Structures are given as C-alpha cells and as structure tokens.
Structure 1
Amino acid sequence: MTSKQIYFLLSDGFSLSLEDNFQLLMDLLDQAPPATSVVKTIPWLLWSIWKNRNAILFAATQESPSRIVQLAEEEAHLSLMLGLHGIAMVSVRDLHFENVSIASDHKDTIAAISSPNQWPRYRYLLEEIKELAQSFSMVVFEEEQVSTNSIARDIAKSVLRFGQFQSYLALGGPAWLHERLYREAALNQ
C-alpha cells in the first residue's frame, strides 16, 4: 500500500487534527506487514504532516494533501535508495574490493551522491556514503538505464515470487536465465 492509497482510504482525507492523523498512521502501521511500502513511507508521511503543520502555524501557508503524500513517497524512495548504496558499499568493503563501480537507475540517488550540498535533507546518509567511499582506492557512481539491469531485476523478482531465498543460481539457475544470458551475449557480439 502506498501513501497515496493510505490517503484515499479516508473518505474525507486527513483530519485537521495532528493527533488524529498520527493515530491513524500508527494504526495502519500496526496492521501492515513489515515489508510493505506503508512501513517505509509512514515516517516520511508523518514528517511531511509535521512540516505542513508548522507551515500553517508559523508561515500561514500550507501544501495540499496530495502534494504532502507525493513528497513523502519521493523522500521515502530516495532514502531507501541511498541506504541501499550504503549497504552495497559495506558489503563490497567487507569483501576487500579496492576499485568499485556502483550503478543505479534512480537518477536522484546519483545526483544526491554527486552533489550532496544540494540534498541537505539526506546529509547523514550522504556523509555515511562519503565516509565509506574513503575505504576504497576508487569509487565511481554511475547512472544506468533500467533496461541495463533487467536480468538482475528479473532474478530478484523470481527469488521473491517463488520464495527461493537460498542461492538457486549456485545450482545452475532456471532455464529462462540461461536463455536470456545467451541472447544478451549474442547481442553484444
């Protein structure tokens, strides 16, 4: 469930009461399975509601509820992407790699890593990534097209879809994977 879906669950939208909105989101959080996007988005939605409350009180302005939801989803997604890059760097460091190239199809993630001063909201995560980058002789962050990682994406989807959390690739992998790899190799020759 996305934050937009949460918003539309309510027939009248969010209440004017901060406490009621907070309670509603906490109730939804209690009902949501831990891996859903609700769990990932609610903290950002709460933060956006709080900032909007302050804008109403101190600046006599406010964002529309749909804009609040949109900002919360964007911030949750970017925060997740930055966190994943940090996790990837820790893993690669622990494997004692010296030269690292990390690619993402999420343009804002690469922009934030490349120009951290333009993204002050994510300062903590970006500083962690910068500190981790110093562990390597060379680190390059690159933007990739979604299609570039289509095989990796399909492997991840198949693992989640069929619950094969052990490395089934070590056992030779599924037939569709072999076919895709052969096709891609033929295209690149």
Structure 2
Amino acid sequence: MRLEKIVFAGEFVEPFGAINRPKAWPSFLAQVDEINLQARVIMESRWKVVPRDQNRGATFIAQSVIKQNLWQSYVASGHPGWLFELFVNESRGLSFFGVT
C-alpha cells in the first residue's frame, strides 16, 4: 500500500507500551522484535494508546466488518462517507506526529 506514516491507535496498553518503551516491558521483548520486523517497511509510525470513546470511528468500522461482512471495502476505498464528520472530529484530537 506504500504508506509512509502510520499511527496505530487502540486500547492496547501493554503492547503499545512495550513498543514505545521496550526497556520498561522486558517480558514483551519477543513480541516487540516481531512487530518491529514486520513494521520495517513503514518509514514512520507511532503507537498511541487511545480509549475506545476517543476512537469511535475504528469501533464502527470493526462492527460493520463483522456484522455486514465488509472485509475488503475499507482497505480499497478509505473510510466510509457516513463516518466523515466523526473522523474529522477525532483527527483534531489525534494530529499525526503531534501525539505524545
């Protein structure tokens, strides 16, 4: 897909904590190494722990994939139009590399 900058956002406190601060999470070293190996094709990435209520767009997409079998459509065409306003509002709180 040739993506150069990606923010991974989710409720994954332990895995994302281990990726961001591997020395603080030594028991996750094998998983962090594997993730870094797979993510080597991405020029820049951030791993951001985000509560579900601040990442509702992803939750809605996941539910529509499961309930409506929309497995391929979002990868090919981007987010659905019915979520445009939600993504705009969420993006104001998650600027790409302004996240901490």
TM-score in terms of structure 1 length: 0.36
Please list every run of 5 or more consecutive structure 1 residues that lacks an aligned counterpart in the other structure: 1-94
SS at match of 2:8: strand
1:108 is matched with: 14
Which structure carries more strand by proportion? 2
**Structure 1 residue 139: Cα displacement:** 2.2
| Structure 2 counterparts to residues 151-162 of structure 1, below 5 A | 151-162=57-68
Correspondent of 1:149 among 55, 68, 81? 55
CA–CA distance in structure 2, aligned partners of residues 124 and 111 of structure 1: 14
* Higher RCO (Cα < 8 Å, 6 or more apart): 2
CA RMSD of aligned residues (A): 3.3
1:52 is matched with: none
1:123 is matched with: 29
Cα gap change, 1:163/1:122 in structure 2, threshold over 3 Å: closer, same or farther? same
Number of corresponding residues: 88
Which structure carries more helix by proportion? 1
Bigger radius of gyration, 1 or 2?
A: 1
SS at match of 1:140: strand
CA–CA distance in structure 2, aligned partners of residues 165 and 108 of structure 1: 27
CA–CA distance in structure 2, aligned partners of residues 186 and 120 of structure 1: 36
